[in-house]
A = this chain, B = another copy of it.
Amino acid sequence: MKAHIITIGDEILIGQTLNTNAAYIGEKLIGIQVNVSKTSVVGDDHDDIMNEFKNTWAKNDLVVVTGGLGPTHDDITKNCIVKFFKTELIQNDDVLEDIKRIFQKRGREVRKVNESQALVPKNSEVIRNELGTAPGIWIEKEGKIFIAMPGVPYEMHAMMDSFVIPKLKEKLVDLPTIQKQVTLETTGIPESFLFERLGNISELLDGAKLAFLPSPIGVRLRITVTEKTEEDTLNKLSEIEQKIRSKAGRFIFGRDGEKLEEVVGRILHDRALKIAVAESCTGGYLSNLITHVSGSSNYFERGVIAYSNASKVEILKVDEDTISEYGSVSLEVAKQMAEGIKSISGTDLGMSVTGIMGPTGATESKPIGLVYIGLCDENICLAKKFIFGEERYINKQRTSQAALEMLRRHLLGISLDD
């Protein structure tokens, strides 16, 4: 089944709203092996919408539309659908009841514009909206399917999960092949080095697909396998994963969207270890990442953002002479910060970062992007030097990711070398 996703809305075109809807629908459709070969965005414009309906309906088995189903003047999707399928609007009593119920719950009276939302195209099936007033629309014609849903993300998600995907699944029977994907999450190695490490790619893959997805904090490796049976597919996926792990294992920290802070958090939690963090240049980014994980209060004891030298000395007990001699961005200060935060917190581990994030703060001997990360446990206190780039925000991200990776490798006894 070949599908096209259309997102309607000026706010998406002009970049004021990110197109999370197309991403959500794409992911769900791929999950049931619908072939999404293209998606598009058009504004709230009658001609543009009609053209897009015409072009995509001609070339696909399934067209999924979101947006423009609201009650106000700039919501014109429903009228375009009626015109495109040469039909008319009729009132749907179930939808009217849904709308009345929602308004009652909010303690408000139903307005005329909301009542008009109960009008749906004749010969369409209604997708009930439990969370809002705009119903979804399902039309089958010429052996093809047309689906329209409101653009409010959580309303659309509910419709996809409870109605659209189950109903599409029924129609997708006896697929000739089974396709599955695994994504391996790597960090600390550039894309081209990872590529080289994997050696002969086509030999490694033997017909499967591999995509490299780089970001400032790592490269994701997405493996896609298509075989005749589920068992064959899973076996081959696992075989390729093992081969990749044998070549680049220490750079792989997780699978399928796992975050490094989740992986590290799980290790700390499982071993009942507590950590405290002293940050300078990252200004809270690292602690914020760690505490994004629900349950992190079990292992994250405290953090100190020692931006000023005074705070490094007063709270973390860094030696003033060390700062004068080596500067606050130095291996020595990173070590003392990690030792200090561990000692004042009474935790098993202390971690520190100090560096120059830019755009200002560089000196002749210390460029923007220079970072030292320190790590202490009961037995050892070490620090490592990194050189990142020019962009302040990306430097914060990369520094924090490198710190978490240093911690992960230390906890798992993996070499800290590149």
Contacts and interface: CB of A to CB of B under 8 A. Distances in A.
Interface of A: 10-20, 22-28, 30, 36-45, 48, 52, 70-74, 105-108, 111, 113-114, 130-131, 133, 152, 154, 183, 190-193, 195-196, 201, 209-216, 220, 222, 257, 277, 279, 282-292, 294-297, 300-308, 310-311, 314-315, 344-346, 358-361, 387, 389-394, 396
A48 B40 contact: no
A98 B213 CA distance: 22
A397 to B, nearest CB: 10
A302 B303 contact: no
A359 B297 CA distance: 12
A105 B42 contact: no
B22 A15 contact: yes
Given A27-B14, A70-B191, A211-B44, A288 B283 contact: yes
B15 A26 contact: yes
A213 B16 contact: yes
| Assembly stoichiometry (copies) | 2
Nearest to A201: B73
Contacts of A36: 13-14
A72 B41 contact: no
A261 to B, nearest CB: 11
B23 A222 contact: no
9 contacts: A10-B222, A12-B39, A14-B30, A15-B22, A279-B284, A284-B289, A292-B393, A302-B304, A311-B345
A190 B152 CA distance: 13
B222 A11 contact: yes
Nearest to A181: B14
Nearest to A205: B73
Contacts of A315: 302, 304, 315, 344
Contact of A211 (B11, B106, B295): B11
Contact of A19 (B23, B52, B154, B288): B23
Given A111-B193, A291-B307, A305-B287, A18 B17 contact: no
Contact of A285 (B25, B71, B284): B284
A195 B13 contact: no
Contacts of A105: 387
Given A211-B44, A307-B300, A284 B294 contact: no
Contacts of A301: 307-308, 310-311
Contacts of A300: 283, 307
Contacts of A360: 294-295
Contacts of A71: 191-192, 195
Contact of A283 (B215, B220, B296): B296
A226 to B, nearest CB: 14
A177 to B, nearest CB: 17
A17 B213 contact: yes
Given A14-B27, A284-B303, 15 more contacts: A13-B36, A13-B38, A13-B39, A15-B24, A15-B26, A39-B40, A71-B195, A72-B191, A74-B212, A283-B290, A284-B284, A294-B359, A295-B360, A304-B315, A315-B344
A205 B143 CA distance: 44
Nearest to A114: B192
A209 to B, nearest CB: 8
